[in-house]
Amino acid sequence: MNSRIKSFVSFLLPLFTLFACHNVNNVQIEDEDYTSGDYPITVTKSGFKKVPYGSEYAISYDETGIIKNATSGIVKDVVIELRIVIKLDNGNEITNKQIDPQPIILDSYQDYLKGQLLPNNEKRYKLSSLRLTKEYISYPLNKFYIQCVIKGTDPLKGDERFLEVIEQKDVTEEWKKFVKSFSPVEYNESSSANVENIVSTSKRYCNELLEGSFYNVTIQGDTLTFFYKYKDFEETVNGKVRDGKIYTNDRLERENKGMGGNVYFLTSDSLKVFNPEGGYTVFKLCK
């Protein structure tokens, strides 16, 4: 199991243990600054947190701070916007446009500062990023960036918009710490069962982010076989269904009693496999 996970997911530190799992809703980083410039930003409080999302939850990045006008000019109609940039292991990039193509107007990812930002003056802001659904926990990311975009107009030039500054900071490690705070059951819709009543069958499940990887899952009565292949790596794991949960001879289950029945979650169209470095990797029926 560990060899398979290392071959296709590298976005979290290999420090996760079952006994470290606990419910922490917020991971906060105090007094973290962006790169200093003409409009330096001092972050007074920031961190990832769980937020309501229908009947489930999502994840947002909250930030409060202070922006200063270090120039000799006056800025009016200042807007500060929080953007997410996720770089995946396969080179793809996820931004606000992919997360929410049509965000709500005046949503909390933007803050409109009242009045003018005069030379050497400061103003406070408060922002929350667009919400990330919990599926993002299992994404094999390489980097996680937060961008703070500052926009404004010059009242001495007919309110001409002249300012758009993008400050960026790397919050990859903060994301890793936040994901590690989840317990395995939080990644699943049900803590009491992890397999639907599926008839005897054989199906192939793929992960679009890991090209060439797949699981062949064979079900015969209450017996299951998971055959995994990624590049040159192959592995077969056998399991049984008991009380609606899948128990296997996977090494992770054998070495951690508390993980029994919590490694594989199977439905008719998806398969989730626990990653000891944090979260579950999701496979869908191959197209």
192-227 pLDDT, tens digit each:
445 555 556 789 999 877 788 999 999 888 899 999
Q: Is the pLDDT of residue 233 over 80?
A: yes
* pLDDT given for residue 211 in this prediction: 81
What average pLDDT does range 166-171 have in this prediction? 90
**Thinking of the domain 24-181, which architecture would CATH place it in?**
Sandwich (2.60)
* pLDDT given for residue 279 in this prediction: 65
Q: Hey, is 8 helix, strand or coil?
A: helix
Where b means 16+ CB within 10 Å and e means fewer, 239-252 reads bebeeebbbbebbb
* pLDDT given for residue 104 in this prediction: 63
Closest by CA to 181, choosing from 31, 59, 5, is 59
Locus of tokens 């996680």: 144
Name the burial class of residue 183, with classes exposed (0-12), middle (13-18) and buried (19+) by CB atoms within 10 angstroms of its CB.
Answer: middle
At 6, the pLDDT band (50, 70, 90 cuts) reads very low
**Domain regions of the chain by residue span:** 24-181, 185-285
Q: Is the pLDDT of residue 12 over 70?
A: no
Locus of tokens 């949960």: 245
Higher-confidence position of 194 and 148: 148
95-125 pLDDT, tens digit each:
988 888 776 655 678 888 888 899 999 999 9
**Thinking of the domain 185-285, which architecture would CATH place it in?**
Beta Barrel (2.40)
Would you say the pTM of this structure is higher than 0.85? no
User: In the 8-state DSSP scheme, what is residue 209?
Assistant: T
Let me know: does 82 contact 69? Beta carbons within 8 Å: no
Q: What is the dihedral of CA 31, 35, 36, 38, to 10 degrees?
A: -130
In the chain, the amino acid numbered 135 is E
19-66 pLDDT, tens digit each:
222 233 344 443 445 766 788 888 999 999 888 776 677 889 999 999
E-only strand ranges, the chain: 26-29, 41-53, 56-68, 75-88, 93-95, 110-112, 116-117, 122-128, 132-133, 141-154, 160-170, 201-206, 214-220, 223-230, 233-242, 245-248, 264-266, 270-274, 280-285
CA distance 148 to 129: 10
Let me know: does 140 contact 10? Beta carbons within 8 Å: yes
Which stretch of 69-73, 85-89, 170-174, 276-280 has the lowest confidence by average pLDDT?
Answer: 276-280
Beta partners for 218?
202, 225
